Amino acid sequence: MIICDPQDGSAVGEVPRMSMLDARSALGRAESARRTMIELSAQERASILESVASRLVDNAETRAVLIAREGVKTITEARLEVSRAINTLRLSSHAALQMTGETIPFQSHPNGVHRQGWWTPEPIGIVVAITPFNDPLNLVAHKLGPAIAAGCPVVLKPHEATPLSAIALADDLRRAGLPKGALEIVTGEGATVGPPLVTDSRTALISFTGGLDTGRRIANSAGLTRMAMELGSNCPTIILADADLDVAAKACLSGMISTAGQNCLHVQRIVCAREIADTFRDRIAAGLESVRLGPKCDETTQMGCLISDAAGIRISQMVDNAIGNGARCLTGGIRDGTWMHPVLLDNVKANDPLRRDEVFGPVAVLIEVDCFDEAIAISNETPFGLQAAIFTSNLANAHAAVRQLDAGAVLVNESTDYRLDAMPFGGTRHSGIGREGVASAIASMSEPKVACFTNVAMAKGADNSLRRHS
């Protein structure tokens, strides 16, 4: 498979187009590495991860260029992704040393008075990790780092459009001493290699980041296999009348164009108090009109391209359908192949897909509301709930929003397009199952094992009837 730059179609690299048999063979090699991974000490696992983080520091610019070329990010965005991946790996390294478990309070019941013990986190087994195109390095690090920290072998299926950054990271891990078979990469079309990975009984956990439809297919076919899924969103950002409009406008603009809107945290709905809506609408429209599109590796480019022509067609159709149903296009919408000027719409109907579904492109809708309660209700109207945001100077409203918004995270005086890699990350309802973030991911990739010791000498004279109560 030739990997091409979506900006101009130029070749960036080549990877194997693997088959179902290749996928099953990768699982076999990972199964063979399970015992080796279990026997690696926490210090050894931490050392491998720290070594790779240091190598990324040394090769940061090369990796940023690779991210930009194979994917959709500008060079500025790609550099940020490299720095975040370094942080993710270092968080994972530190977490590996903290997997100590806890003692168990056996003395809490008479049946435990002659016993003592503890539980320790044990690796769950093979993790099948499936990653998207929009963060080809850091989202891979969010799967691999916690899995290695927990002692789990991984079979990684990177997105077919952007596998090169994942392969480079895997090479770094092997050079750092990761055992043979502990990380297997399966490249190719998801429809071919995905099913054998997610249905195989050797798979202990599926960690998937991607679209809702694909997540449903995986869930329907995986049976009792454990799953951690991040399935996207339609993120709302509330702008109340007492907000700092300069701060809010800057954050919303950044959140609308980051990764050309191909981002699960993309600012898709701006829910704005009616008394400031005209002012805010004009600011956002003017800001979008000045956004500089251009070559991704140009330092002055503010927004890159879409991942494919097909993505551009899909997004344009959503915009055109909304306009056909009465929406007003305030700016943008011009598309040339994978290049698309960012779009701002208003008067979008409540049942329109742009207000309910994930657009995964540089499109936002502005919705006017008359009060705080209406803003909350509008924000919660979709079946998604990944992150939500509110701009306000009223502390009571900020706290009320945190309580009432149905989302995995609520950002106050920040747009939805913010994530710290140490945060528990995930959402409610259709936005997924479980949480990512290093500590949360490690918890999903491990399970507690209890050790219980009985003091035979002391228990000998105890009332044996107590032993029968558990």
Q: Are residues 219 and 239 in the same domain?
A: no
Average pLDDT over residues 33-39: 95
> Residue 183 has what pLDDT?
98
Question: Residue 456: its pLDDT value, please?
Answer: 82
Please give the pLDDT value at position 74: 98
Q: How many residues are present in the chain?
A: 470
Whole-number pLDDT of residue 135: 97
Going through 279-386 in order, the beta strands assigned E by DSSP cover 328-331, 335-336, 339-340, 343-346, 363-369, 384-385
Query: How many domains does the chain fold into?
Result: 2
pLDDT for the residue 120: 95
pLDDT tops 90 at residue 458: no
Task: Say if 301 falls within a structural domain.
Answer: yes
**Average pLDDT over every residue of 34-50:** 96
Which among 364, 385, 412 is the end of a domain?
A: 412
Quickly state the pLDDT bin for 461 (edges 50, 70, 90).
Answer: low
Residue 240 pLDDT: 98
| pLDDT beyond 80 at 261 | yes
pLDDT of 457: 74
- Residue 90, pLDDT above cutoff 90: yes
Q: At 245, is the pLDDT very low, low, confident or very high (cuts 50, 70, 90)?
A: very high
Whether residue 465 has pLDDT greater than 90 = no
Contacts of 180 (CB under 8 A, 6+ apart): 29, 33, 36
**pLDDT averaged over every residue in the chain:** 95
pLDDT of residue 1: 93
Whether 123 and 183 share a structural domain:
yes
Angle, in degrees to the nearest 10, between helices 395-404 and 372-379: 30
Confidence category of residue 37, pLDDT binned at 50, 70, 90: very high
Q: Is 461 helix (H, G, I), strand (E, B) or coil?
A: coil
Domain membership of residue 422 (yes or no) is no
Q: How far apart are CA 138 and CA 83, in angstroms?
A: 9
**Residues 386/425, Cβ–Cβ less than 8 Å:** no
Model pLDDT for residues 162-192, shown as the tens digit of each residue: 999 999 999 999 999 999 999 999 999 999 9
pLDDT at 438: 96
For residue 340, the model assigns a pLDDT of 96
Residue 468 binned pLDDT confidence (cut-offs 50, 70, 90): low
The helix-helix angle for 138-150 and 42-58 (nearest 10°) equals: 160
Domain-located, residue 463: no
Whether residues 203 and 320 fall in one domain: no
Residue 250 confidence class, pLDDT cut points 50, 70, 90: very high
The whole-number average pLDDT for the span 230-236 is 96
Q: Does residue 425 fall inside a structural domain? A: no
Cα angle 227, 229, 230 (rounded to 5 degrees) comes to 170
In a domain, 454, yes or no: no
Tell me: pLDDT of 455 over 90: no
Domain that holds residue 272: 235-412
> Is 443 found in the same domain as 378?
no
Tell me how crowded residue 111 is: count the other CB atoms within 10 A of its CB. Answer: 16
- What pLDDT score does 332 carry? 93
Q: Are residues 328 and 435 in the same domain?
A: no
State the pLDDT confidence band at 463, using cuts at 50, 70 and 90: low
Regarding whether 401 and 373 lie in a shared domain, the answer is yes
Assigned domain for 217 exists? yes
Does 284 reside within a domain? yes
441 and 402 inside one domain: no
Residue % of the chain over a pLDDT of 70:
97
Angle of CA points 35, 37, 41, to nearest 5°: 115
Q: What is the mean pLDDT of residues 96-123?
A: 94
Just list the catalytic residues: 230, 264
CA distances from 32 to 179, 259, 324, 392, 416 (A): 11, 39, 57, 55, 42
**Is the pLDDT confidence value at 314 over 60?**
yes
Residues 47 and 171 in one domain: yes
CATH number of the domain bearing residue 300: 3.40.309.10
Q: pTM of the prediction?
A: 0.94
Instruction: Give yes or no for residue 234 having a pLDDT over 70.
Output: yes
Give the CATH number for residue 104: 3.40.605.10
Q: Considering the domain boundaries, does residue 376 fall inside one?
A: yes
- CA dist list (Å): 67 to 135, 157, 230, 447: 8, 17, 21, 34
Same domain for 49 and 73, yes or no, is yes
State the pLDDT at residue 459: 63
Residues 152, 198 within the same domain: yes
Question: Do 280 and 141 share a structural domain?
Answer: no
Q: Are residues 6 and 69 in the same domain?
A: yes
- Banded pLDDT at 326 (limits 50, 70, 90): very high
